[in-house]
Structure 1
Amino acid sequence: MSQDELVELKEQQYKDARSKESFDRFHERTRTREPDFMYEVVRILMSLMSWGFFRVRGSHPERVPASGPVILAPNHFSFLDHFFLGVGLRRKVHFMAKSQLFKPPMSWIYTHGGVFPVRRGFADEDAFVTAVTVLDRGDTMAMYAEGGRSRTGEPAKKAKRGIGRLALLSGAPIVPIAIVGSSHVRNWKKLQFPKVRVYYGEPFAYDRVEAPTRDQEQAVADAIFAEVRKLYDAATTKTGSPDS
């Protein structure tokens, strides 16, 4: 598929006017409780959809450690990337999601499924406290190196420093991941369903830093995203197209 065939994405809202306190209960639940049955319900339904419509296949999911803290660091094209990422994994994956999504009734599903908000348009320290808490108890966190979805059909040129901050604050192993094909997922509206492939890289880690500088965070984010890009470029070179 060409760039012209990409379905246009809606403009994103970058500020959530609600107060910090509006989201405290979601953070508290994620910090103190594991995802419950809702995670499994959603996983089953979305796995069936992913396999059936988008023919999702994973390459080397065994590279994700079977236990202990781990940060999954994929590129990001589609709102379905969360599900594509977890289809090949037995572990429950926690996600940050933009706070605008946390409205009834979906907020109940999100929070019971291991998703917690990051307040858009603000320096949201609560989101990082929650993410580090999840990792410190030995669970799995997913965070997109690009911050938000790429709207060009190609991975972004630069990483956001948030992934570097999380890697340094936690010291958890990072698994770079390339998701190929999901840039055209929105073409389902045209009854076009691209094949999606998920490539898991080798884990690596950084020493824990209690108070990393912005430069340290950005340097680590850039290094992580370089590994993601390497996987993505190798995959698309091999197949000849992101949608092959």
Structure 2
Amino acid sequence: MSIRAISLAAFVVLQSFNGFAQSPTPPGTLVLDKGWQSAAQGGSATMEDLGVLLSTFAQPSSDTSKAPRIKLYQNVTYLMPYVEARDQLHLIQKVVPKIKVVCPGFPKDSFFHYGFDGIFDGHFNKLYLVVDKADQVVAVQLVTEAPKADLVDAPYKETVWHCYNFVNARTKASRRLWIDHKPFFQDERGWKEYSAKYTYGQPKGPVDVLRIDSLLMNPDLTTSGSRGSNWKPLEAVRLYLPKPIMELILFNVRATSK
């Protein structure tokens, strides 16, 4: 037997010993942890937020075989290899920590994010590539940690949301703060804000990618309970979430709520 054949055989044995399947996962197939469906401990308020936000646009499903070629953000597509996504977005930052996504409702021990500094979409200063266990992109999130009031859309009345940044699993630390979420879908003219009240603000077909614009703010409450003139935006977030991931999250949300 040649040295090359011996080395290959040793590699296969080592992969099997480490708990990997002996037959490699085909590229473009979602790779999750074996226990991705495990019930979350705590985080019921965050999962409630996710259920309300996503249930209009997707149905719960545990089918991990769905791998449609969905355009997520600019030229980055669903399940694109991380290295290729970096090239597409011209991200040249050298030191990029890989951090586990621990948001309740997301597939457990299955997603990680890489965070990049820069200027994105005009006023966001962070971009996160969210990947599965095979380093394939499953979502994209933008964050601005010092948003300007004229660049965000803030509510006038108190909201009932709990989590304002799902990828980083950030919830409000004080009851006096407000959180707002606005879902957007794409039509022939581009991104359109969803409206539960008016039909012109509702999608005509399946939503392949949902964009969620989120805001944490200090409302500077008036005596009437409305936001005051000195309100301050504290963090703005924009999450691009493809339908297959929405379905997995809703599956976890439903399973946990039973």
Higher strand share: 2
Q: Same fold (TM over 0.5)?
A: no
Higher relative contact order at CA 8 Å, sep ≥6: structure 1 or structure 2? 1
The structure with more radius of gyration: 2
The TM-score normalised by the length of structure 2 is: 0.29
The TM-score normalised by the length of structure 1 is: 0.30
Higher helix share: 1
